[in-house]
Amino acid sequence: MESAPTSLVFKVHRHEPELISPAKPTPCELKPLSDIDDQEALRFQIPSIQFYRYNPSMKGKDPAKIVKEAIAKALVFYYPLAGRLREGPGRKLMVDCNGEGIMFVEGDVDVSLDEFGDALHPPFPCLEELLFYVPGSSGILNCPLILVQVTRLRCGGFILALRLNHTMADAPGLVQFMIAVGEMARGASVPSVMPVWNRHIFEARDPPCVTHTHREYDEVPDTKGTIIPPDDMVYRSFSFGPTEISSIRRFIPPHLRHCSTFEIIIACIWRLRTIALRPDPKQEMRMILIINARSKSYSPVPEGYYGNAFVIPAAIATAEELGKNPLGFALEKVRKVKTEIDGEYMKSVANLMVLKGRPNFTVVGSYLVSDVTRVRFREVDIGWGMPAYGGPAKGVGPIPGVISFYIPLKNKKGEDGIVIQLGLPAPAMERFAQELGSMLKEQNTPGSSFIVSAL
């Protein structure tokens, strides 16, 4: 699988930013977020991006105008997204539903979609041009909750980039809103799935009571600033097609071969990443999983709910255990954590947030991978058909080296694969690539889709 050309450089000619308010009057009220929504770990802006090809049936139509009008119509139903966050006692977040609107930017660039390369995936060149930082718009409190930029391309296609205040929605919730925008753009008068607020389903008890152990929020002494020094980071993308996945499965014991591809790959990366970092052998290393409650049997989440509906439990082992044991050891740890999550665990997290001041997850020794392969980014049709790429705008999260996205990808043969972008100190990155290359050596043939692309 090829990576996007990092040599592509361009400048977007932008109009002045503006605010889009709901197309009709909406309720003015204060709506508290849930105790899952307003934890410290979600108080950041998360970017996504959609690439749309030229569609002859839409010739002469302006995507920026269509998106802008569709957003205004969708905000009638999703009116809290047009409000502003306020913070109350105990750091409790609430939405002031005042209809101020979301930030909107439109622009043009003298670049065609083909110039981005055959395999569209992060990192994207000149992302700061495609998702412009509007001064004063990126805070968590008292700022627009969404920023949208539509950039028209020379070829007739366009790029829709979006930045969301993560406390308002998770990835499925964001895509639910984006699909509604697409439906409005194509002439619908109401969304096919009506939004549901219901943030009370993840409220803490009164009085709060934690019923589970939550090692993902351990208070760990950070004696070295962080295990990964941010000033020595190298980012590379690693893609895995059927050949690579089959190769890794050779190292899985028979009783674990039913495990999902996601579980196997993250267990592999957790182990090799730990070996590459060379931490103290007794250092606890955390593989943090994202478990979304949607569609689970224990789930209280109704259809249409667009708030954050996930927890982040951690598989934990020492660096020595991960290095000395075979891959099955790490995989067992990952599987065990997943089986322990239930509805009570989610309630317990909400209670912990209230009791402990809404802490961040433990960063020291941690690695988190967010699987977006089942999130429907690629089903957002604005009228130009399905996007050539839809998903995270960046392959890594806001904490250097700690968060990665597990992104779907197709190779030239049409085979499904995934790509993961890692950030590591330069020496550790070389060790990681060597370790992974060694695992894949027997099957890393000319027909393989495995790549390591320096960024």
Clarify whether 231 is annotated catalytic: no
Cα(348)–Cα(312) distance, integer angstroms? 12
Comparing CA positions, the residue from 75, 163, 67, 58 lying closest to residue 107 is 67
Which tokens belong to 439?
């695992």
Phi, psi (degrees; rounded to nearest 5) at 267: -65, -40
Q: Tell me the chain's radius of gyration from C-alpha atoms.
A: 22
Which tokens belong to 218?
């351990």
Clarify whether 381 is annotated catalytic: yes
Residue 117 is classified by DSSP as -
Cα(52)–Cα(156) distance, integer angstroms? 9
Tally of CA atoms within 13 A in the half-sphere of 65 that contains its CB: 4
Question: Are 122 and 25 within 8 A, CB to CB?
Answer: no
Burial of 232 (0-12, 13-18, 19+ CB in 10 A): middle
Cα(46)–Cα(215) distance, integer angstroms? 25
Which tokens belong to 361?
């997850």
What is the bridge-based pairing of β-strands 284-288 and 366-371? parallel
Question: Are 287 and 334 within 8 A, CB to CB?
Answer: yes
Beta partners for residue 335, in sequence order:
none
Cα(51)–Cα(38) distance, integer angstroms? 31
Comparing CA positions, the residue from 181, 199, 166 lying closest to residue 78 is 181
- The catalytic position among 121, 166, 212, 214 is 166
Burial of 262 (0-12, 13-18, 19+ CB in 10 A): middle
145 to 84, 165, 302, 303: CA distances (angstroms): 7, 5, 23, 22
Catalytic residues: 166, 381
